[in-house]
Amino acid sequence: MADALLGGWRGAPLAAAERALAAYAEDLTLRPAAPPLPRVAALREAGFDDAGVLAATEITAYFNFVNRLAHGLGVELEGPSK
């Protein structure tokens, strides 16, 4: 699966719920101020309940926070372990 995701989530063999989650995370990342109801509705249609929507939002926000913190401080990531 990891190899399939290297080319982007759109081309990866994801289940419908995983595809909805990836679209949600991308949308929240790129357009954080966009109206939330349509994107939350898409998650609900894919089977996410309140707890699932909350978890998706928290995890997406956390990764965005950490990435912006690292970029802002000029943190360089280590390469893959050998």
User: Each residue of 14-58: pLDDT tens digit?
Assistant: 999 999 999 999 999 999 999 989 999 999 999 999 999 999 999
Residue 33 in domain: yes
How far apart, in Å, are the Cα atoms of 41 and each of 7, 37, 49, 70? 27, 6, 10, 32
Mean pLDDT of 63-73: 93
Find the domain containing 52 and state its range: 15-73
Quote the pLDDT of residue 81.
59
Quote the pLDDT of residue 52.
98
Q: How many domains does the chain have?
A: 1
d(CA 58, CA 56): 6
Quote the pLDDT of residue 8.
84
Quote the pLDDT of residue 78.
75
Quote the pLDDT of residue 9.
86
| 26: three-class secondary structure by DSSP | helix
Residue 1 in domain: no
